[in-house]
Structure 1
Amino acid sequence: MRLYEKTGNKWKFIKTYPAVTGKSGLSFTKKEGDGATPTGMYEIGRMFGYGKKPAGVRTSYTATNQFHYWVDDPKSADYNKWIYYRGNPASRWKSFERLNHELYKHAIVIRYNENPIVKNAGSAIFLHRWRTSTTPTAGCLALSESHLIALMKWLDPVQSPKIVIGTPDSIRSDLKNSSP
């Protein structure tokens, strides 16, 4: 993962962090459950985790518990949404992510497939801590916990941060076509 800041029309390199992607690599045609990380440019969403909000984080942060879910059941009206639910999740959805999962001690929502939400196009895409530096994710991006926290502190919501995921050519294209 490479971090850049844009001032005017110029991109300035900041730093690099080792990262892992989905077990199926990158996808230009993401589908629910394919194990791939979606390519494209996306807004950075809110931050969350079962851990305490790290000092210095400027973005909204939600401390999660056993009632926080992200629904990845394409047949549900709740598909690709964060839901707070006190009932039995298995009786409401066929598939869901518990947001107090061990990998989500701290995490950042990547605002993928949101406007509009397209059924079966993929859901629950986050930046979260990795298991190891060589263990892929189910479709998210993952960093070491220390780099994830450093990134969380670096991101400034006033600057409307974005994430660009892709091959070198697709990234250049996304950046070239992005608005200032």
Structure 2
Amino acid sequence: MIQRRTAVALLASPLLLTGCGGGAEATERRTPAHGPDPAPTPDTSTRPAPGGIPGLGPRRSAAIPGRCEQAVVVTGRGRESPLCTVVLHQRTDTGWRSGPAWPAHNALHGWSARHRAGDLRSPLGVYTLSDAGGLLPDPGSKLPYHRSGGFRSPGTGFEGEPLEGSFDYVVAIDYNRRPGTSPLDWTRPLGPGRGGGVWLHVDHGGPTHGCVSVAKAHMKELLRTLDPGRHPVVVMGDADWLAH
């Protein structure tokens, strides 16, 4: 049974890793696994309310659930770029309060609105954040934390950088996965062809297969701040897409 706070994830299959393109081995050079295409965003001509999230246009703002009080916004430098910034925004009585901007990486080939496994692009969309985990002990996560040796990440990335430590801390993005399970869970509700294992994780200094990566200190801060009672989401895409 998986506990609500800290649990050891045990896999029934020989797969050691499922995140950020992981399959039988954790390496950025293997075929990636990603989630389903993002749900359609409702069209609207309304303007964001005062105190809205900077950089988000009316359509993207409308896609954030009304009960959401924490939004991790991932802003890509361009549709084909693997570089992005991550900002945690928290809702207050007077609007959204923005945290610092953290440098980050996304997928090697940028972003896609019709994301498929193997395209080396990160999925555009708004997704809930329900579960966390990692190779290291729980640093004080408010999300359920699943510790496991399955988070080891051997190998090298696209630029020859070592991947070791990339999955010391992760937050699963609810993209073709079953919320309430370990990030290592292999269940893909839409089928393996639609991918899965898209995470926020520790940056290794280069592009990912589809995940978003930030420095270890920033991952620890996210884990200690994201609160399931505040219904956190991630809003992710290139700057032009986010602005609509």
Same-fold call, TM > 0.5? yes
Q: Does 1:107 align with 2:170?
A: yes
- Work out the CA distance in 1 between the residues paired with 2:230 and 2:217: 23
Change beyond 3 A, Cα 1:114–1:8? farther
In structure 1, how many angstroms separate the alpha carbons of the residues matched to 2:95 and 2:107?
Answer: 30
Residue aligned with 1:170, SS: helix
1:154 and 2:225 matched: yes
Which ranges of 4 or more aligned residues in structure 1 deviate by more than 6 Å?
none
Structure 2 equivalent of residue 140 of structure 1: 211
Alpha-carbon distance, 1:150 to partner:
1.2
Alignment partners' CA distance in 1, 2:210 and 2:149: 22
Q: Measure the CA separation in 2 of the matches of 1:21 and 1:123.
A: 15
Q: Which structure shows the bigger proportion of residues in strand conformation? A: 1
Q: Give percent identity, aligned residues only.
A: 26
Work out which of the residue numbers 60, 79, 95 in structure 2 matches 1:10.
Answer: 95
In structure 2, the partner of 1:65 is 149
Q: 2:189 aligns with which of 117, 125, 133?
A: 117
Q: Residue 224 of structure 2: SS of its match in structure 1?
A: helix
- Structure 1: 5+ residue runs without aligned partners? 67-98, 174-180
Using the alignment, how far apart are the partners of 2:120 and 2:94 within structure 1?
A: 35
Give the structure 1 partner of residue 135 of structure 2.
50
User: Helix, strand or coil: the match of 1:18?
Assistant: strand
> Where in structure 2 are there 5+ consecutive unaligned residues?
1-85, 154-163, 179-187
Q: CA deviation at 1:131?
A: 1.1
Return the letter of the residue paired with 1:148.
Answer: M
- State the secondary structure of the residue aligned to 2:221: helix
Letter in structure 1 aligned against 2:88:
L
Whether the 8 Å CA contact 1:6–1:12 is kept in 2: the answer is yes
State the 1:14 CA deviation: 1.9
- Name the residue aligned to 1:129: 202
**Residue 8 and residue 33 in structure 1: after superposition, are their counterparts in 2 closer, same or farther (change >3 A)?**
farther
Q: 3-state SS of the aligned residue for 1:48?
A: strand
Q: Which amino acid aligns with 1:2?
A: V
Q: Given the superposition, is the C-alpha separation of residues 14 and 45 from structure 1 closer, same or farther in structure 2, using an over 3 Å criterion?
A: same
- Matched positions, count: 138
Amino acid at match of 1:57: S
TM-score by length of 1: 0.69
> Is 19-28 or 4-13 further displaced after alignment?
4-13
The one-letter code sitting in structure 1 at the alignment partner of 2:190 is V
The CA deviation at 1:172 is: 4.5
Q: Tell me how far 1:143 sits from its aligned partner.
A: 0.5
Over the aligned positions, Cα root-mean-square deviation in angstroms equals 2.0
Name the residue aligned to 1:36: 121
From the two aligned structures, give the one with the greater helix fraction: 1
AA partner of residue 165 (structure 1): M
SS of the aligned residue for 1:23 comes to coil
TM-score, reference length from structure 2: 0.52
Q: Deviations over 1:21-42 (max 9, x none)?
A: 0011111111001111111000
Distance across 1 between alignment mates of 2:142 and 2:226: 7
